[in-house]
Amino acid sequence: MTMTKTLKRTIVGLAVAAAMTATALAQDISGAGSSFVFPILSKWSANYTGGPRINYQSIGSGGGIAQIKAKTVTFGASDMPLSEADLNKFGLTQFPVIVGGIVVVYNLPGVPSGSMTLDSATLSGIFQGKITRWNDAAISRLNPGVKLPNQAIAVVHRSDGSGTSFIFTNYLSHVNAEWKENVGAATSVDWPTGIGAKGNEGVAGNVAQTSGAIGYVEYAYAKQNHLSVTKLVNHDGKVLSPGIDTFAAAASNADWAGAAGHGYNMVLVDQPGAAAWPITGATWAIFYKQPQDPAATAAALKFFKWAFSSGKAMASSLDYVPLPDNAVASIQNSWKQIQGAGM
Amino acid sequence: MKDMTMAIRAPAEFSRPVDKAKKIGGMQRQDLQFHGLTFVATLALVAIFIGVIVTVLVGAWPSIQKFGVDFLTTSKWNPVTEKFGAQALIYGTVVTSAIAMILAVPTGIGIAIFLTEMCPQFLRRPIGIAVELLAGVPSIIYGIWGMFVFAPFFQATAQPWLIELFANVPVLQGIFAGPPYGIGVFTAGIILAIMILPFIAAVSRDVFETVPPALKESAYALGCTKAEVMSNVTLPYVRAGVVGGAMLALGRALGETMAVTFVIGNAHKISGSLFAPGTTISASIASEFAEAETDMHRSALIESGLILFIITFIVLALAQLMLRQLARKRGARA
Amino acid sequence: MSAARYQIRRVNNAVFLALSLSATAIALVALSLILWSLLQLGFGALSLDVFTKATPPPGEKGGLLNAIVGSLMMNGIAVGVGTPVGILAGTYLAEYGKNHPLSVVARFINDILLSAPSIVLGLFIYELVVVRMRHFSGWAGCAALTLLVIPIVVRTTENSLALVPDGLREAAVSVGAPRYVAIQKVTWRAAQAGVLTGVLLAIARIFGETAPLLFTALNHQYMSTDMNQPIASLPVVIYQFALSPYVDWQKLAWAGALLITVVVLLLNVLARVIGSRGVKSK
């Protein structure tokens, strides 16, 4: 009698343990990388009911690329597209997922959001440590009528391998020869000055905490955390406020379908157009053509298919620009090269 | 015959010489087994240590090969071009620990003096316990407290004042210069100081209590003030112990990660100003390791960890020597 | 002695004592500031949700359940594995191999490991476990924590056993008990308060350890008890949430910090009580 009871208990116990393990194992799609895309990805994931949930680590594009190369996640997410050479070398394929804008945020009590304008020269000077005070002549010239305090500028940049940094430094390299020569464009550069913070989250947190700080973040972070944003001067010389219409204007020139053969590689910074936001970027999802776990890959692709069609309103609510339909069609066509996609 | 019957009816364990021998043999075997078990456990301890050194060395090897001595002399840290130099990390580690020691050692000794000489008896235990509780607070708490509470306060009050104060003093203006970030090398040093303070206070207090009362009483009998007894009798007597305790605390400060990561500012730069952001070896490893893209980046971080391990090993070994010297001296006198 | 000289000495004395008093005051002020912040910010964020819901996505409300469970699991296993190893090694150092050359080396090594930077131990486990398994896991986190537990238990076991009077050992042996029986049934029992204190202190230490978990166990967004995959833990979640700009996440970070501090302080107090009771009973 006691034997059977113990046996029964053991079996139930093992079953519970197996179930608990199984629940955690079989179902989650794992992804890692860009913090640029994290706000919209988590919103999509929270509203997705057609499959398993997405376990996404927002660790920066560099980390995402590292983890997909190490095969520790189902997909990586990066705001810097991989080169064709890299894609072929590792057997990877990538496709854009969303377009978004990078804004310059600051913390100056007394100077409300949207009242300050900066241009490429002042941005380059500030982030190189050459312009050190808020009431510097270069900044006041752009902002007549704005009372700028005589306060030191505390620069905040990314400390991790960041696609957001890539987009930002790419922009500065495009528009400022001095920046291109001294600093360059990459996911991680030798920042001449400033504090390093982890992720878009860290930069936003630091700017919010530090009086006199300036930094660059994806627009959703500025909105969600009520940070003051600057206006920027774009390619055509117009002064613009950030928002989904200006990001969409910058993205409207992009020929996604045409870039299908080159890993959808696209530059969206410094786009011509009166309403085009100067620092616009996109995030690419990176998958293996021959994945280790085809079922997880198929589930992930199903998720993105849903996001492309049903997630547009969610994206717009966070001021991301959803991809146009012809781009989506081209992307879904490219999934044919992913083994097991069955789409 | 009689014995056999007794064995069948009531098998007492030591009734027959053969059973007794078997039983003792069994116990001897178990004794050997237990001895062996404890020996293996101790060997495991030594093996772990050797394993740590070997593994870290192997992991750091690619970086050591590629950069050689330059690793210690450059501060360029670029994961994209895979050029790494740990000078900024080493500088930050040493400077934050130095600031922590300068602030914490006198304060810790001061606390120990207060507790052993001045404190009224009924307060002695509660304050002593309070100080030791400070030692138990996990370092991440210090880190977030530093970032959310101390740094903004520092940035708003003390930092601008200090920058202003030394603005025109030749050497000091460079040391206390720069935009007031709130976080930075100096703030990290202060947080570290608060963290290691209880260790120094506890060790100092313990060694102060080992001073033979007769020595102190003879000094008092000669008319010495409390301060004179402290500085001329107690402190010289316990010098080795206090230094040993301080060095243990230094070892702790050098390796401290979480208290520093939040407030150091993550800049791979060496700046003349203490108010500038910087980084330490452990803060860099903590921030960058999990997301390092390339093997060389990881190897460079592991090499920094190896350097940290060597530095702390030397400090801790010296501390052990000092403390053992004190123990031996105490033993000789007793 | 001239009056002036005497005055100087008196002033010196007063200054000296004043400095010591202010040093203590500084320490007490620092302690109260930290505890006050913890209580104020952490208590405000405590609610039943913290213990029943898993960590939320940014901008939403949730709890710390997965972090608490992960911490309990990893700490429990680390203590379960590390304590026997530590007690056995400590027994060797105090009983069998007291003056053996291995003991001299082992004691020195133990003291180094006790204060070694925990992040270096994390690197060791990364190379040993994470790289071999090709992914982060709760087991790797456990292994790192076990490495922290062992030196603490070894040190306190050896010290406690050394305090047991030889008379007890001799008495046990004189009634014919073999060495291992004498150790297990007599010496260990006499030292149990001290050994228990050591175990409690070890738990208190690893409860707040973050660095070694950062790249061994990593983190997990949802509720999971799978030790074979990355798993959440309180310190790592606090690290992630505190560095974020989301107010909800920051509040949870403080709540987690309060939880850890309360547990650690309680364990320290308990260790102290048991330790002193053991001493009194001698």
pLDDT band at A21 (very low <50, low <70, confident <90, very high): very low
* pLDDT on residue A22: 39
The token duo for B302 is 């592991």
Tens digits of residue pLDDT in A79-92: 999 999 999 999 99
Q: Say which residue, A343 or A237, is predicted with more confidence.
A: A237
Contact call for C119 and B285, based on CB within 8 A: yes
Mean pLDDT of C55-73: 87
Question: Any idea what DSSP says for residue A81?
Answer: P
Q: Say which residue, B83 or B23, is predicted with more confidence.
A: B83
**In whole angstroms, what is the distance from residue C67 CA to residue C57 CA?**
14
Give the whole-number percent of chain B exceeding pLDDT 90: 41
* pLDDT on residue B237: 86
Does A13 score more than 70 pLDDT? no
- Calculate helix-pair angle for A294-310, A325-334, nearest 10 degrees: 170
Tens digits of residue pLDDT in C157-214: 999 998 888 898 889 889 888 888 888 888 888 888 889 999 999 999 999 899 999 8
Tens digits of residue pLDDT in C47-59: 888 898 888 877 7
Contact B108, B200 (CB under 8 A): yes
* pLDDT on residue A239: 94
* A contacts of C60 (beta carbons < 8 Å): 46
Chains in contact with B via at least 3 Cβ–Cβ pairs below 8 Å: A, C
Mean pLDDT of A22-40: 74
Distances (CA, A) of A305 to A74, A299, B57, B238: 16, 10, 47, 73
Distances (CA, A) of B14 to B24, B26, B289: 10, 13, 64
H or E element at residue A198 = none
Contact call for C243 and A71, based on CB within 8 A: no
Of A271-275, A301-305, B168-172, which range is least confident?
B168-172
Does A9 score more than 70 pLDDT? no
**In whole angstroms, what is the distance from residue A303 CA to residue A305 CA?**
5
pLDDT band at A18 (very low <50, low <70, confident <90, very high): very low
Global pTM reads 0.85
Average pLDDT, chain C: 88
**In whole angstroms, what is the distance from residue C226 CA to residue A17 CA?**
9
Mean pLDDT of B283-299: 87
Mean pLDDT of A307-312: 93
Mean pLDDT of B273-297: 88
* pLDDT on residue B1: 46
Contact C40, C32 (CB under 8 A): no
Q: Which residue of A has its CA nearest to B182?
A: A210
Q: Say which residue, A242 or A72, is predicted with more confidence.
A: A242
Average pLDDT, chain B: 86
Residue C257 sits at the chain B interface (C-beta within 8 Å): yes
Residue C95 sits at the chain B interface (C-beta within 8 Å): yes
* pLDDT on residue C133: 84
The token duo for B233 is 């009798």
Chain B nearest C-alpha distance from A240 (Å): 29
Of A62, A191, A195, Cβ closest to residue B181: A195
Does A6 score more than 70 pLDDT? no
| Cα A255 to chain centroid, rounded | 20
* pLDDT on residue A73: 86
Find, among B238, B293, C215, C16, the residue nearest to A161 by Cα: B293
Does A12 score more than 90 pLDDT? no
Mean pLDDT of B184-203: 92
Residue A313 sits at the chain C interface (C-beta within 8 Å): no
Does A10 score more than 60 pLDDT? no
**In chain A, which among 208-237 make CB contacts under 8 A with chain C?**
208, 221, 224-225
The token duo for B319 is 């501390």
Average pLDDT, chain A: 86
Residue C134 sits at the chain A interface (C-beta within 8 Å): yes
Tens digits of residue pLDDT in C83-141: 999 999 999 999 887 888 889 899 999 989 988 899 999 999 998 998 888 778 899 99
Q: Which residue of C has its CA nearest to A41?
A: C57
Does A24 score more than 80 pLDDT? no
**In whole angstroms, what is the distance from residue A116 CA to residue A16 CA?**
59
Tens digits of residue pLDDT in B102-133: 999 999 999 998 988 888 889 888 888 888 77
**Interface A:B, Cβ pairs < 8 A:** 80
Residue B213 has a CB neighbour count (10 Å cut-off) of 9
pLDDT band at C244 (very low <50, low <70, confident <90, very high): confident
Contact call for C228 and A45, based on CB within 8 A: no
* pLDDT on residue A175: 92
pLDDT band at B52 (very low <50, low <70, confident <90, very high): very high
* pLDDT on residue C254: 94
Contact C91, B38 (CB under 8 A): yes
* pLDDT on residue C279: 60
Contact A81, A284 (CB under 8 A): yes
Interface test with C, best of B115, B131, B141, B313 (most C CBs within 10 A): B141
Contact A260, A334 (CB under 8 A): yes
**In whole angstroms, what is the distance from residue A307 CA to residue A41 CA?**
9
The token duo for B181 is 């970030």
* pLDDT on residue A25: 42
* pLDDT on residue A95: 94
Residue C62 has a CB neighbour count (10 Å cut-off) of 17
* pLDDT on residue A172: 94
**In whole angstroms, what is the distance from residue B327 CA to residue B333 CA?**
10
Question: Any idea what DSSP says for residue B76?
Answer: -
Contact call for B136 and C12, based on CB within 8 A: no
* pLDDT on residue A225: 87
**Interface A:C, Cβ pairs < 8 A:** 62
Give the whole-number percent of chain C exceeding pLDDT 90: 39
Q: Which residue of A has its CA nearest to C220?
A: A55
